[in-house]
A and B are shown apart, each in its own frame.
Chain A
């Protein structure tokens, strides 16, 4: 699966799209592929404070439950309610319809701690 150029990535395989002070995040194509069929996403609550690289949500696949880590710190503005009924969107469209939450970022400088698409691609290659 292609790795979108315009996003930033974590080592735990989350992505974030930064637009001004807002970061929209989800899990990467590689992550959903490794997890297999996603059956449940425990969405973060609106207003919840999240911290970069700390657990912010839980995702379940047929095989296992895993934590999702926040790619940036801030406050959850909105979660993707469509995933409640259709968690499979994370598999079908991890970078678009399968987004998980929008975060009002508290520290835009944190983006420096993330990988760009090329670094993430290299990271994936390395860890294989």
Chain B
């Protein structure tokens, strides 16, 4: 996904990561912190206490206009009409063939004003799609450079936030406020990608370092990298765009049917209706190893020794104490079924299960 030869972009926290001796790595064209002290320790700290993550790489768009007449409703597969102002909704944007162009979160700022948060690797592609399909009367702006973002995630995140953003601390699940933090305009939403109680804090890039310092001044807060984020999202069964799904995957195949509204008109809907009628070629499956062995992206899935699918994501789960993963199978597999995982032949056994892998979290606390 990274453009060859293009220098990696850095976030306003680059020097802060260096001071913390973070291991850095390329992600979606950005030089990002992969880990600080260690992926497993960071994952455990997030589920037990609270961590902050540099997520400045993600993209943000603004759309001004009525959901229907602006064309925005047609661009995303989730229903926006029923979204209340001050609330967020997870959605996907599809191509004509029903393939997922990106997964994103829509923030309804007011009746006819929206913020859309997209994956870093997809900013250009998404911008193209929106500008092509939105009505000329709608106002579209890519404000990715105007916002930085730090995610504060974990059961103690609310307690930490109460100290300097009491209003934001009171937010309900999947709602947000536009407020001021550290003397600057800010957006805080009660969202995240970890499965824990958590917040995403948007601030102008110039203020991001100050916010990072402010958060880490609280002894409960520790920095966590993208490696930890990947473990936590997989423990919840959340998909990662570009790895678990791409433009050739429909949301029906990706297990995202509950996030689409087939009763409204949107790009890709005819293809989805057709697929619903004719059946899917592949089915989302989740599984846990019977050992500490980790399934890996690209591993194959075997049933009775016969290849029947592929692993799209896998890792070791510190909270399950086993390897966990997700993938696609040619036919639906029932929870409890034993499968083999390996490169060319089954190497170790896993059991099909129902996500999330970690059942008890502070997500809705």
Q: Is the beta-carbon distance between B39 and A36 smaller than 8 angstroms?
A: yes
Q: Is the beta-carbon distance between B316 and A62 smaller than 8 angstroms?
A: yes
B294: chain A residues at CB < 8 Å are 39-40, 60, 62, 65
Chain A contact patch, size range: 10 to 19
Q: Is B332 an interface residue (CB 8 A)?
A: no
Q: Is B40 an interface residue (CB 8 A)?
A: yes
User: Could you tell me the dominant secondary structure of chain B's interface residues?
Assistant: mixed
Q: Is the beta-carbon distance between A40 and B316 smaller than 8 angstroms?
A: yes
- The total number of A-B Cβ pairs within 8 Å is 41
Q: Is the beta-carbon distance between B296 and A65 smaller than 8 angstroms?
A: yes
Q: Is A87 an interface residue (CB 8 A)?
A: yes
Q: Is B50 an interface residue (CB 8 A)?
A: no
**Known pairs A60-B316, A63-B227; A40 contacts B38 (CB<8 A):** no
Q: Is A78 an interface residue (CB 8 A)?
A: no
Q: Is B35 an interface residue (CB 8 A)?
A: yes
Q: Is A116 an interface residue (CB 8 A)?
A: no
Q: Which of A's residues lie within 8 Å of B, judged by CB?
A: 36-37, 39-40, 42, 60, 62-65, 87-88, 91
In chain B, positions 206-240 with a C-beta closer than 8 Å to chain A are 227, 231
Contact with A along B290-301 (1 / 0, CB 8 A): 011110100000
Q: Is the beta-carbon distance between A62 and B227 smaller than 8 angstroms?
A: yes
B315: chain A residues at CB < 8 Å are 62
Interface centre among A39, A40, A42, A87 (most CB of B within 10 A): A39
Residue of A nearest to B291 (CB): A40
Chain B contact patch, size range: 10 to 19
Give the CA-CA distance A104 to B253 in the complex, in Å.
Answer: 53
Q: Which of B's residues lie within 8 Å of A, judged by CB?
A: 23, 35, 38-41, 227, 231, 291-294, 296, 315-316, 323
CB of B226 to closest CB in A, whole Å: 11
Q: Is the beta-carbon distance between A62 and B296 smaller than 8 angstroms?
A: no
CB of B324 to closest CB in A, whole Å: 11
Residue of A nearest to B289 (CB): A40
B291: chain A residues at CB < 8 Å are 40
A60: chain B residues at CB < 8 Å are 292-294, 316
Q: A37-B40, A62-B231 are in contact. List 10 more A-B contacts (CB 8 A).
A: A36-B23, A36-B35, A37-B38, A37-B39, A39-B40, A39-B316, A40-B294, A62-B39, A65-B294, A87-B292
6 residue pairs, one from A and one from B, having the closest CB atoms: A39-B316, A40-B292, A37-B40, A62-B39, A37-B38, A40-B293
Interface centre among B23, B41, B227, B294 (most CB of A within 10 A): B294
A62: chain B residues at CB < 8 Å are 39-40, 227, 231, 294, 315-316
Give the CA-CA distance A39 to B23 in the complex, in Å.
Answer: 19
Residue of B nearest to A60 (CB): B294
Give the CA-CA distance A87 to B292 in the complex, in Å.
Answer: 9
A87: chain B residues at CB < 8 Å are 292
Give the CA-CA distance A60 to B292 in the complex, in Å.
Answer: 9
